[in-house]
């Protein structure tokens, strides 16, 4: 397909804008959490795969961590297995955990690997159980009640949190020019499997790899103020203030805290971006404007 003169000029302008970012981030590790609309829309899935392949081709080391909540919910419904949620987390008994492993470790993981490979990349799919990549521990949930002298401990089953990341597994793949695609399933020292929030896994992996960026795809335009305007270029102090004054609430809080912990632990920047935008990852990394919220561990410039 031939380009018109105007299209060719536009393309060259985009490439010129991207060049300094490519030069800056060559050799850097970027951890991308893939989820939300970007995982269910066919066009967005293909554009995400091409973004990841391009990042690898220009010398970056992308590491993909994916979710799969809607897909898990759909299969549980088909199997007539009832789900319960505590503080937004799915109660995961042994039967539900089998479904989680089937969906995340097989169906979803292999689909992403295939998309990246079809786009010209070299992806390998793994779960946190492979090579004991993600050592997990059971998540303890407590609930305060005025009727009880001590907080109530609620058992939500096979829901875990990250205890330790085995970086050797990831580094073996990235140094061999492969793109790791990681399902957020962990294992404890007794061999029990745990379902772990994909944002938390991505954040911890970014921390232990001393990643340049942690990128979390969402179904919104980014962190917004009370007037609906997208905020970006935020330091950690500014984000703390937004939490304190009630600007950041509800379902956005866990993502923001994950992003904060990452930059406070050495990740250069965290990005919460709009996964509903075609090529959102490339737009955030390679353009001046971006498509979401940038958080760093430094105060914003005056």
- 65-89 average pLDDT score: 87
Average pLDDT over the chain, rounded to an integer: 88
CA 277 to chain centre: 16
Tell me the pLDDT band of 156, cut-offs 50, 70 and 90: confident
Q: Name the most confidently modeled range: 51-55, 93-97, 288-292.
A: 51-55
Q: Give per-residue pLDDT as tens, 4-34.
A: 777 777 677 778 888 999 999 999 999 999 9
Whole-number pLDDT of residue 2: 63
Name, in order, each residue with C-beta under 8 angstroms of 52's C-beta and a sequence gap of 6 or more. Answer: 32, 62, 64, 116, 119, 121, 123, 179, 281
**What value does the CA radius of gyration of the chain take, rounded to a whole number of Å?**
20
pLDDT beyond 80 at 298: no
Domains of the chain plus CATH, in order, are 34-209 (3.40.1160.10), 212-302 (3.40.1160.10)
Task: Tell whether the torsion through CA atoms of 271, 276, 281 and 287 is positive or negative.
Answer: negative
- 102-129 average pLDDT score: 96
pLDDT beyond 50 at 73: yes
Whole-number pLDDT of residue 3: 62
Instruction: Kindly report the number of other CB atoms within 10 A of residue 7's CB atom.
Output: 11
Whole-angstrom distance, CA of residue 19 vs CA of residue 286: 8
pLDDT beyond 80 at 87: no
Whole-angstrom distance, CA of residue 13 vs CA of residue 150: 62
Three-class secondary structure of residue 175 per DSSP: helix
Whole-number pLDDT of residue 25: 94
118 phi and psi angles, rounded to 5 deg: -65, -25
Whole-number pLDDT of residue 16: 84
Q: What Å distances lie between residue 15 and 7, 20, 167, 168, 259, CA to CA?
A: 12, 10, 33, 35, 29
Tell me the pLDDT band of 208, cut-offs 50, 70 and 90: very high
CA 205 to chain centre: 10
Task: Tell whether the torsion through CA atoms of 253, 229, 268 and 297 is positive or negative.
Answer: negative
Whole-number pLDDT of residue 302: 35
Whole-number pLDDT of residue 301: 39
pLDDT beyond 60 at 149: no
Whole-number pLDDT of residue 269: 94
Residue 186, strand partner residues: 194
- 259-270 average pLDDT score: 93
CA nearest neighbour of 182 among 75, 109, 257: 109
Whole-number pLDDT of residue 152: 56
Taking each helix axis from N to C end, the angle separating 109-118 and 42-57, rounded to the nearest 10 degrees, works out to 60
Whole-angstrom distance, CA of residue 285 vs CA of residue 154: 41
Q: What Å distances lie between residue 55 and 23, 47, 299, CA to CA?
A: 12, 12, 28
Tell me the pLDDT band of 143, cut-offs 50, 70 and 90: low
Whole-number pLDDT of residue 49: 97
């Amino acid at each position: 397909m031939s380009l018109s003169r105007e299209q060719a000029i536009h393309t060259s302008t985009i490439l010129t804008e991207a060049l300094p970012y490519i030069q800056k981030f060559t050799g850097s590790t970027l951890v991308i959490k893939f989820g939300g609309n970007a995982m269910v829309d066919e066009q967005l899935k293909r554009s995400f795969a091409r973004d990841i392949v391009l990042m690898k081709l220009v010398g970056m080391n992308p590491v993909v961590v994916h979710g799969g909540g809607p897909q898990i919910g759909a299969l549980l419904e088909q199997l007539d297995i009832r789900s319960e949620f505590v503080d937004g987390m799915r109660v995961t008994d042994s039967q539900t955990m089998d479904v989680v492993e089937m969906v995340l470790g097989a169906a979803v993981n292999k689909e992403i690997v295939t998309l990246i490979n079809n786009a010209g990349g070299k992806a390998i799919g793994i779960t946190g159980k492979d090579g004991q990549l993600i050592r997990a521990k059971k998540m303890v949930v407590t609930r305060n009640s005025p009727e009880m002298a001590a907080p109530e401990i609620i058992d939500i089953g096979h829901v875990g949190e990250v205890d330790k990341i085995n970086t050797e597994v990831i580094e073996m793949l990235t140094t061999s020019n492969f793109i790791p695609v990681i399902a957020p399933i962990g294992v404890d020292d007794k061999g029990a499997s745990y379902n772990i929030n994909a944002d938390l896994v991505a954040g911890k992996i970014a921390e232990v790899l001393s990643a340049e960026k942690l990128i979390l795809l969402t179904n919104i335009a980014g962190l917004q103020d009370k007037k609906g305007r997208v905020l970006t270029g935020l330091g950690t102090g500014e984000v703390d203030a937004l939490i304190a004054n009630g600007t950041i609430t509800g379902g956005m809080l866990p993502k923001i805290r994950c992003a904060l912990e990452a930059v406070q632990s050495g990740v250069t920047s965290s990005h919460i971006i709009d996964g509903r935008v075609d090529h959102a990852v490339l737009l955030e990394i390679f353009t001046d404007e971006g498509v979401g919220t940038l958080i760093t561990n430094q105060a914003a410039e005056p």
